[in-house]
Chains A and B, each alone.
Chain A
Amino acid sequence: MVSQLNPAWQRKSASSSRLAEISARFLGETQESKQGNDLCQAIPFFLDGPEQRWITDELARILTERGHPCSACHWGDSNDPESSSPTAHGDTACATDAWCVLAVSSPDKLLRQDIDHVVLLVQADLDGVRIAYQRIKLLAQHGGPDIGIVLVGPRDQHAAWRYFRKLAVGALRYLDVPLLNLGFLPEQIAPGEDAEASHRHNFLARIGERLLHSGFYSTITTGAAQRGT
């Protein structure tokens, strides 16, 4: 999907911070992990609300199945506004896995932690696209992260593409922000319905593959829940 996009919408080229990040990832395996300060590859997702948590939970499970031990962490749903650390969800803990799908519900949390990648889950309707645009605008005002888009609830691939194109053209035209299309979850996919489980699994697996293949993640130190680079 990435290669089908207009070149203007491709991710920014590797920057020095990105190279430093990659370098830290390899150095971390030999030095930092021995000091108990493990590096973790975090994929931050910005959620509209708690009803979307199944997406990050299930994506973490799929990544684990595919050989990337992964936790789902929720960040920003605490009542304590000062809370700055992600909390692990389920039986696994962030600190023990090499990968972490980080569900964030507050732009402030993202901006304070200087995360350099974020996936926006965008509801496939005009209101959803407009709200996503406002979020992108807010992030851009603060020199924001690379932004990937997953459309939630379009009728089919064609509809998903129309919504993505509307958002991507607007973001590029008015904000000069390129967006990365990471895929979509069609409307018939919902949590908790066994009959849809394999269908759901396929769409999420495809999104997971795109995330990994495009290097769309950040390196954080799990000890301090801060970015590692």
Chain B
Amino acid sequence: MKLKIETAQNCDREQLRKLLLEASEQLVGGGNHVLEARLRWEGQPILLADADLHPVLVSFDPDSSEAALVNGLQGVERLRSALPWINQVYDPLQQRQQSARLVVVAPEFPPGAEAVLHSCADLNLLRYRVLSVNGESGLWLERLSGVAAARSTPKAATQVDAERLPEQASNDILPALSEAENAYFQQL
């Protein structure tokens, strides 16, 4: 069969939500569960549970990467406070009380992505394009790694945006491990 792939026009928030739900496996891996397709919080993020039973907040915005990031960080903070309640309400979490992960999806990576990734161990930043394949719409998702962020982010923007992060959120988010630390903690 001949594939006809083209970029589609940018979608609105609800169309993006639908596409993200369809692409949940790409976002958080297989074996996930959708806990809430629309949380009534700022930005109306999606709440999933991954295969390891971590709650995963998917914060997205079809226009503004900064809004998606800030809403996501605030959402994770609320989620942390509400963790016992959330574990009671959503059976797929099996009362494991696991810490929450954050996935931020926007058309572009937010400015200051490097600083954010360095201070947030459980954060994934993704940008997307809507593609049409033989008339069917789908998402093309690109994940930002720390190295790519260093290449793509101007340093001045990094510093400004790191200062803008809510103080409490940055204090509660665990720092990432260096390569040497990661290697050290691979085994006992």
Q: A-side interface residues toward B, CB under 8 Å?
A: 48-51, 77-79, 81, 106-108, 111-112, 126, 129-131, 133-135, 137-138, 141-142, 162-163, 166, 170, 173-174
Task: Identify which of B77, B83, B121, B180 contacts A49 (C-beta below 8 A).
Answer: B83
Residues of B within 8 A of A130 (CB): 177, 185
Contact across chains for A78 and B97 when beta carbons are under 8 A apart: no
Question: In this complex, what residue of A is CB-closest to B169?
Answer: A108
* Known contacts A78-B81, A126-B188; 9 further A-B pairs (Cβ under 8 A): A49-B84, A79-B78, A81-B168, A133-B177, A134-B121, A137-B174, A137-B177, A141-B175, A173-B184
Q: Given known contacts A108-B168, A166-B188, A170-B185, is B175 in contact with A81 (CB within 8 Å)? A: no
- Closest A residue by C-beta to B81: A79
Q: Determine if A129 and B168 form an interchain contact, defined as CB atoms under 8 angstroms apart.
A: no
What separation, in Å, do the CA atoms of A141 and B119 have in the docked complex?
A: 11
Q: A106-B172, A111-B171, A134-B174 are in contact. Are A162 and B188 (CB under 8 A)?
A: yes
- Residue among B121, B177, B181, B188 making CB contact with A163, cutoff 8 Å: B188
Interface size class of B (residues with CB under 8 A): 20 to 34
Find chain A residues with CB under 8 A from B188 CB: 126, 162-163, 166
Distance from B75 Cβ to chain A, minimum over Cβ atoms (Å): 13
Structural contact, A106 and B80, CB atoms closer than 8 A: yes
Q: Does B178 reach chain A (CB closer than 8 Å)?
A: yes
Chain B residues 98-155 with CB under 8 Å of chain A are: 99, 121
**Contact: A133 with B97, CB < 8 Å?**
no
- In the assembled complex, the Cα of A79 lies from the Cα of B172 at a distance in Å of 15
Q: Cβ of B77: which chain A residues have Cβ within 8 Å of it? A: 81
Q: Residues of B with Cβ closer than 8 Å to A?
A: 77-78, 80-84, 97, 99, 121, 167-168, 171-172, 174-175, 177-178, 180-181, 184-185, 187-188
Instruction: Provide the main secondary structure of the chain A interface.
Output: helix
The answer on a CB contact under 8 Å between B82 and A79 is yes
Residue in A77, A81, A107, A133 whose Cβ sees the most chain B Cβ within 10 Å = A81
Beta-carbon nearest neighbor of A131 in chain B: B174
Contacts of A142 in B (CB 8 A): 171
In the assembly, what is the distance between CA of A170 and CA of B83, in Å? 30
| 28 intermolecular pairs with C-beta atoms under 8 Å apart | A48-B97, A51-B97, A78-B81, A79-B78, A79-B81, A81-B81, A106-B172, A107-B171, A107-B172, A108-B168, A112-B171, A126-B185, A126-B187, A126-B188, A129-B185, A130-B177, A130-B185, A131-B174, A133-B177, A133-B181, A135-B174, A137-B177, A141-B175, A142-B171, A162-B188, A166-B185, A170-B181, A173-B184
- In the bound complex, what is the Cα–Cα distance between A142 and B99 (angstroms)? 22
Distance in angstroms between the alpha carbons of A129 and B188 in the assembled complex = 10
Listed residue (A78, A79, A138, A163) with the most chain B CB atoms within 10 angstroms of its CB: A138
Closest to A106 in B: B172
